[in-house]
Amino acid sequence: MTSRNALIYTMLVVAAMITLGPFGLGLLTSFTSARQFNTESPLSLPNPPTLANYTALGDAGFGRAALVTALMTAVILLGQLAFSVTAAYAFARLEFPGRDTVFWVYLATLMVPATVTVVPLYLMMAEAGLRNTFWALVLPFMFGSPYAIFLLREYFRSIPADLIRAARIDGAGTLDVIVHVVLPASRSILVTLGLITVVSQWNSFMWPLVITSGSSWRVLTVATAGLQSQFDAQWTVVLAATTVAIVPLILLFSVLGRHIVRSIVVTGMK
């Protein structure tokens, strides 16, 4: 190995340690008993390791929070993909008056930042009596995402017209075309979009924070934040919470990491 390569590897490894270090520390500490943490050095290895911090999480309602988060993510994922696909198909392959105008309107909404819609959405949900309900968590997101629609439209436009024509000749209606022709041909982009959606919904914080309260519809991020104030300075429990919030995505990442990385590049550059 040349010395230059050795230098490069060193830098890469150092960067990797800086990246992983905090996660590792947090993980270790989450298995340390509170007593050990308070009396010995905070960085001492858990001796003996304990699950007490995680049990405390269970008592604090984290199980339900995980369930709510998973449910919310799943519902939004399915809804968003389904309705984005149908909309993108309409934009890509159908002709009807107003099509392009409506599409530009969709594009325009890409410029609306989330921070700006939180307060008015809160008011709207409050007026509709939907505060602190599961519906409030999913409704704003499950009807399709302009971002996904934009990307899918590009993709659908590149599906060979012959395929679709052939299906139509066989008597397929629009829904048939979508289900039997378009979907199978779009597997990779759908996985891509799906991953992006899962990541962003699982980590969503501000909206759930604002629109839910109490323990019935709390998501993991909100529960973690609440735990930090409830278990003030009891870092071992708090770090168990962050671990629970992070681990599912780490697992997803270790299995599908390559895909996620590709997703980011593919969707970002458009």
Residues 42-81 that bind other proteins (CB under 8 A): 42-43, 67-68, 71, 74-75, 78-79
In whole angstroms, the minimum distance from the beta carbon of 248 to other proteins comes to 10
Using an 8 Å Cβ cutoff, are 198 and 71 in contact?
no
Counted residue by residue, the chain has a size of 270
Helix (H, G, I), strand (E, B) or coil at 179: helix
Token pair in block for residue 246:
């992070």
Tokens 């991953």 correspond to what residue?
Answer: 195
Q: Which is nearer to other proteins, 164 or 226 (CB)?
A: 226
Interactions with other proteins, residue window 158-197 (CB under 8 A): 174, 179-180, 183-184
Helix (H, G, I), strand (E, B) or coil at 40: coil
In the chain, which ranges are continuous DSSP H helix? 3-30, 34-39, 52-59, 62-93, 99-109, 114-127, 134-138, 146-157, 161-169, 174-177, 183-185, 187-202, 206-211, 220-230, 235-268
CA distance 18 to 16: 5
In whole angstroms, the minimum distance from the beta carbon of 51 to other proteins comes to 19
Interactions with other proteins, residue window 195-254 (CB under 8 A): 199, 202-203, 205-206, 210, 213-217, 220-221, 224-226, 228-230, 232-235, 238-239, 241-242, 245-246, 249-250, 253
Where does this chain touch other proteins (CB under 8 A) — which range of 7-15, 48-56, 154-162, 164-172?
A: 7-15
In whole angstroms, the minimum distance from the beta carbon of 101 to other proteins comes to 12
Q: Determine how many CB atoms are found less than 10 A away from the CB of residue 214.
A: 8
* Contact pattern from residue 12 through residue 41 relative to other proteins, giving x for each residue in contact according to CB under 8 A and a dash for the rest: x--xx-xxx-xx-xx--x-------xx--x
In whole angstroms, the minimum distance from the beta carbon of 118 to other proteins comes to 8
CA distance 135 to 180: 31
Q: Which amino acid is at 99?
A: R
If binding means CB under 8 A, how many residues of this protein chain bind other proteins?
118
Interactions with other proteins, residue window 104-143 (CB under 8 A): 105-106, 109, 111-126, 129, 131-134, 139-143
Choice from 99, 157, 160, 188 touching other proteins (CB under 8 A):
99
In whole angstroms, the minimum distance from the beta carbon of 266 to other proteins comes to 9
In whole angstroms, the minimum distance from the beta carbon of 40 to other proteins comes to 10
Q: Which is nearer to other proteins, 22 or 49 (CB)?
A: 22
Q: Which amino acid is at 216?
A: S
CA distance 144 to 23: 34
